[in-house]
Structure 1
Amino acid sequence: MSTANHTPTPAIKGRFIGVGVGPGDPELITLKALRLIQSAQVVSFLANEQGASQAKSIAREAFAAVQHPQQEIAIKMPMSTDRELANQAYDNGAQRITQALKQGVDVVFLCEGDPLFFGSFAYLLERINGAFECQVVPGVSSINAAASALRHPLTLLKESFAVVSGRHSAQQIDTALAEHDTVVIMKAGRARPKILTALRKTQRLHQAKYLEYIGRDNERIVDDVSLLEDKAGPYFSLFVVTKTERGTR
């Protein structure tokens, strides 16, 4: 009788895949993202307290072609800006995703824009990476979509380029505007008054363009930001500031 030892077959684990769905236009989803969404058994996304998801809405055409049951892991994020509450939501979401991965099922996480550029996927990645295989499918960022909507190059030749957030301090925004040829200010939202003040202070108000909900039905572009309301705006908004005179070859 054989006494050979048999090594147990390791359990098959699922993959955690972050998929960028772009800034809003459903047609900007890549073919790879489309294939993964349509073949996924489990999809995950951030949602508001009512369960609505911007990322899922952007990917609606991909979901329309799904022919099999899909499990959804909606991670509801609090409306509060309290970072502790947000971390609790990410912790809970990571636990639910981990449970699915342990069952050998891939989980496709939908992320607006690009997963690793101001993307919510990054917070889940740091909680899951290492324990499971993780993959990332890049998406079109709102910055690229904004340049296309404006039909305006972000940088030319030796022009410098900086990206800051409305969450940065007024001093940091002032410094970026003073030191760089092109500046994109993301997540303008509640910081819009602060950003307008910085643009006036650095005398770059006339060089700025303002965009909301890029690629969506309610897209808004303001070419003359001196006419922009000096009050908080929507979360999905940004400023693009470029030099009036551009370099030549």
Structure 2
Amino acid sequence: MSEITAPTPRTGTLWGISLGPGDPGLITRAAWAALQRRDTVWVYPVRSGKTPSYALDIVQRAELPPPETHTPLLFPMTHDGEKLARAWLKAAQTVLPWLQAGRDVLFLVEGDASTYATFGHLARTVRGLDDTVPLQVVAGVNSFTAACADLGEPFSEQDDTVAIVPAAYGVRAVDRLLPDFDTLVLMKIKPLIDELLDWLEARDLLAGAHFVERVGALDERRLSGPALLALRGSKVSYLSLLIVKNPHRVRGERIKGCLKKTPEPTA
């Protein structure tokens, strides 16, 4: 008589649930459906033990109750690679037992889980510990597209070129991009706000510049044009960005020559 073996338990899926930048109305139907499940575990990023989770705040304002099991994961605000690696490992070790027990884990992400999000770090670290863990991402609305919608400003048109750059690369790096792009989206501008304002003035870019802080949140703040100069010397939220429209790029010239046919080689 053959021995009966118990079925191997299913490994749970690690989900990146994009919530949009702040307005609960921008949670997609797919994300909303996933958040309705009561058999999952919710985890959400915090930047310190004293700072509440912005991602959790979005779902709370949407009046979506958390499941029985939910917990924050610490992702510290630092560029120290060793500290970050330790935090990612600890977060992965927190969620892995639930996944290996067959429970789906939903990582709540403000904005989009594929765009400058902590989900990628967590997913890679979890797969480094157990490469059988399935991954699933629910796409969401990005902060910069939501900001443009709020401003009534097209993100891009026709043949426009767009660069999305963390401002931490520095003003010189941003300046080198200017000749090649119609729109610059500068993320994570908090440490460089004064330098960026000086650059906008020097390059005559203020008229087409827009500052948006905590887009979609109850305390969203927007400033455009010369009004941006009021930010000089002030503190801004980590969740702030600049959208800069480049008036020095001339439509029609930007792809000049791109449609020309390559001449046939002569014999």
Normalised by the length of structure 1, the TM-score is: 0.89
User: 3-state SS of the aligned residue for 1:154?
Assistant: coil
Higher mean C-alpha deviation, range 109-118 or range 150-159: 150-159
Partner of 2:43: 44
Partner of 2:239: 236
Q: CA deviation at 1:81?
A: 4.8
User: 3-state SS of the aligned residue for 1:117?
Assistant: coil
Larger Rg over CA atoms: 2
The ranges of structure 1 where at least 4 consecutive aligned residues each deviate by more than 4 angstroms after the TM superposition are 5-8, 244-248
1:20-99 alignment to 2 at 5 Å? Answer: 20-40=18-38, 41-47=40-46, 48-50=48-50, 52-62=52-62, 64-65=64-65, 69-99=67-97
Partner of 2:197: 196
CA distance in 2 between partners of 1:228 and 1:86 (Å): 34
- Paired residues in the alignment total 244
Higher mean C-alpha deviation, range 72-81 or range 185-194: 72-81
Residues 39-69 of structure 1: CA deviation (Å, up to 9, x unaligned): 1421000123126110000111455456xx5
User: 3-state SS of the aligned residue for 2:168?
Assistant: coil
Partner of 1:151: 152
C-alpha distance 103-51 of structure 1, shift in aligned 2 (>3 A): farther
Partner of 1:210: 211
Partner of 1:223: 224
CA distance in 2 between partners of 1:147 and 1:211 (Å): 9
Residues 46-101 of structure 1: CA deviation (Å, up to 9, x unaligned): 123126110000111455456xx521121123355534323222211111111110
Q: CA deviation at 1:7?
A: 5.7
CA distance in 2 between partners of 1:159 and 1:204 (Å): 17
User: 3-state SS of the aligned residue for 2:169?
Assistant: coil
Q: CA deviation at 1:8?
A: 5.1
C-alpha distance 65-17 of structure 1, shift in aligned 2 (>3 A): same
Q: CA deviation at 1:223?
A: 1.1
Partner of 2:257: none
Is the Cα contact below 8 Å between 1:14 and 1:103 reproduced in 2?
yes
CA distance in 2 between partners of 1:29 and 1:246 (Å): 37
Q: Flag structure 1 segments of 5+ consecutive residues without an equivalent.
A: none
One-letter amino acid of the counterpart of residue 58, structure 2: I
Q: CA deviation at 1:171?
A: 1.9
Higher mean C-alpha deviation, range 79-88 or range 126-135: 79-88
CA distance in 2 between partners of 1:42 and 1:207 (Å): 44
CA distance in 2 between partners of 1:125 and 1:202 (Å): 41
User: 3-state SS of the aligned residue for 1:227?
Assistant: helix
Partner of 2:264: none
Partner of 2:255: none
Higher mean C-alpha deviation, range 89-98 or range 219-228: 219-228
User: 3-state SS of the aligned residue for 1:167?
Assistant: helix
One-letter amino acid of the counterpart of residue 36, structure 2: Q
User: 3-state SS of the aligned residue for 1:228?
Assistant: helix
Is the Cα contact below 8 Å between 2:178 and 2:246 reproduced in 1?
no
Is the Cα contact below 8 Å between 2:188 and 2:239 reproduced in 1?
yes
Normalised by the length of structure 2, the TM-score is: 0.83
CA distance in 2 between partners of 1:78 and 1:161 (Å): 30
Is the Cα contact below 8 Å between 1:209 and 1:224 reproduced in 2?
yes
Is the Cα contact below 8 Å between 1:14 and 1:101 reproduced in 2?
yes
Q: CA deviation at 1:135?
A: 0.1
Partner of 1:169: 170
% identical aligned pairs: 28
Residues 94-114 of structure 1: CA deviation (Å, up to 9, x unaligned): 111111101110000000100
Q: CA deviation at 1:198?
A: 2.8
Q: CA deviation at 1:169?
A: 2.4
Is the Cα contact below 8 Å between 2:181 and 2:246 reproduced in 1?
no
Partner of 1:107: 105
- Structure 1 vs Structure 2 CA RMSD: 2.2
One-letter amino acid of the counterpart of residue 172, structure 1: A
C-alpha distance 117-10 of structure 1, shift in aligned 2 (>3 A): same
